[in-house]
Amino acid sequence: MRILIAGSHGFIGTALRRRLEDAGHDVRVLVRHAAARPEETRWDPAAGWLDARALSGVDAVVDLAGVNPGTRLLTESRKREVLASRVDSAGLLAETIATLDGPRPRLLQASGIGAYGDRGDTPVDEDEPLGTTFFAEVVRQWEAATQPATEAGGRVVFLRTGVVLGPGAGALRPLWPLLRAGLAGRLGSGRQFWPWITLHDEVRAIEHLLTADVHGPVNLVAHADRNADVVAALAAALHRPAVVPAPAWALRLVLRDFASEVLGSVRAVPRVLEASGFTPDHPDLETAARWLVEQS
């Protein structure tokens, strides 16, 4: 397949590109700097500029572009940047796909499990309505931006990704050094459900969805476990204790609106992914934690 990736240099994008290339796919990438390689095409989502010829002959587009909300304090200006970076890229790709003649590439659009807001202990599948948090509203506008592709007859899949467990980056970036030092513990009460998936299974799932008979939202998670259990499993795999909790009030003070992603409970169920025939290689915490330590 010929596959075009936006956001190929990020945590998930880098791993996905490597996997697809190793599998023999023809991978092209969108970049914001001057194209320096034959597989690169320059684009400018903020300016609404993309040469439609970049999508010529492409079978699928994977859009992983967007500002990482967890790397800086979520001020009002930063929140606008997080939202715009997602809506601009998704909208530009969808509008460009809609202009194409002939078969249109499938669009695999990044999204987030924060779509549902805080749902406590209730299992949540893809039929659940969206929540009311800042990140739920981001997802609402993010996914809506792809409407031009859908209206033109294109197939769009929303990758509602959970907590991605991978070495040295992603959700574990701030937690990993504390885990290694034996200074980690539950976040807040620790009873909130964290829907997680390993980076290995995340990119396997995306590759699977390139051809699976699926459209609409897909919960990209392997399982949902309580935060305290996730932290304890990772610490155990490192042979470290996990007895230093982070109080909820401190997390809210430091993280502001991002605290909803850490303290909120989403017991997400991967109903659509499982029905499509995907089986994770790391289906439980013990297996996932062991893999993660081996990779670190």
The three state secondary structure string of 216-270 is: EEEEECCEEEEHHHHHHHHHHHCCCCCCCCECHHHHHHHHHHHHHHHHCCCEECC
Render pLDDT for 39-58 as a digit per residue (tens, 0 to 9): 999 999 999 999 999 998 99
Q: What is the pTM for the complete model shown?
A: 0.94
CA angle 204, 109, 212 (to 5 degrees): 50
List phi, psi (to 5°) of 120.
60, -135
pLDDT at 74 over 90: no
Distance CA 13, CA 108 (A): 12
Distance CA 234, CA 232 (A): 6
Per-residue pLDDT band for 180 (boundaries 50, 70, 90) equals confident
HSE at residue 227, side-chain half, CA atoms within 13 A, is: 24
Q: Greatest CA separation found in the chain?
A: 59
pLDDT > 90 in the chain, percent? 76
CA 146 to chain centre: 16
Q: Of 267, 265, 270, which is closest to residue 126 (Cα–Cα)?
A: 270
The more confidently predicted of residues 276 and 101 is 276
Mean pLDDT of the residues in the chain: 93
Contact yes or no for 278/205 (Cβ under 8 A): yes
HSE at residue 72, side-chain half, CA atoms within 13 A, is: 10
Render pLDDT for 83-98 as a digit per residue (tens, 0 to 9): 999 999 999 999 999 9
Per-residue pLDDT band for 105 (boundaries 50, 70, 90) equals very high
Tokens of 203: 């990119």
Range 177-203 average pLDDT: 92
State residue 110's pLDDT score.
Answer: 97
Range 131-156 average pLDDT: 96
The more confidently predicted of residues 226 and 175 is 226
Contact yes or no for 146/101 (Cβ under 8 A): no
Render pLDDT for 262-290 as a digit per residue (tens, 0 to 9): 889 999 999 999 999 999 999 999 999 99
Strand order in the sheet with 156-161: 40-42, 26-31, 2-6, 60-63, 106-112, 156-161, 216-220
Q: Is 256 left (phi over 0), alpha (psi -120 to 50) or beta?
A: left
State residue 257's pLDDT score.
Answer: 72
pLDDT at 256 over 80: no
State residue 115's pLDDT score.
Answer: 95
Q: Of 178, 154, 152, 155, which is closest to residue 240 (Cα–Cα)?
A: 178
HSE at residue 67, side-chain half, CA atoms within 13 A, is: 20
Per-residue pLDDT band for 35 (boundaries 50, 70, 90) equals confident
State residue 169's pLDDT score.
Answer: 67
User: What domains does the chain contain, in order, with CATH numbers?
Assistant: 2-295 (3.40.50.720)
pLDDT at 131 over 90: yes
pLDDT > 70 in the chain, percent? 99
Query: Which letter, b or e, does each residue of 57-75 get, where b requires 16 or more Cβ atoms within 10 Å of its Cβ?
Result: ebebbbbbbbeebeeeebe
Q: Is the dihedral of CA 106, 161, 274, 133 positive or negative?
A: negative
Range 148-161 average pLDDT: 96
Q: Of 221, 230, 207, which is closest to residue 125 (Cα–Cα)?
A: 221
Q: Which helix (H) or strand (E) holds 95?
A: helix 76-99
State residue 242's pLDDT score.
Answer: 86
Range 141-148 average pLDDT: 98
- In this structure, what is the dihedral angle of CA atoms 50, 52, 57, 60, given to the nearest 10 degrees? 50
